[in-house]
Amino acid sequence: MAATITLFTRPGCEHCRLAKEYLQERHVAFAERDVSRDPAAQEELRRINAPGVPVVVIDGDAVLGFDKYRLDDLLKAKGVVIGQPA
**pLDDT, one tens digit for every residue, the chain (86 residues):** 578 999 999 999 999 999 999 999 999 999 999 999 999 999 999 999 999 999 999 999 999 999 999 999 999 999 988 876 55
CA distance 84 to 14: 25
Cβ-count burial 12-37 (b if 16+ within 10 Å, e if not): ebeebeebbebbeebebebeebbbee
Q: What is the pTM of this model?
A: 0.92
**What pLDDT, on a 0 to 100 scale, did the predictor assign at position 85?**
59
User: What are the phi and psi torsion angles at 78 (to 5°)?
Assistant: -90, 0
In the chain, what are the domains? 5-77 (3.40.30.10)
What SS3 state is found at 24?
helix
**What pLDDT, on a 0 to 100 scale, did the predictor assign at position 1?**
57
CA distance 20 to 17: 5
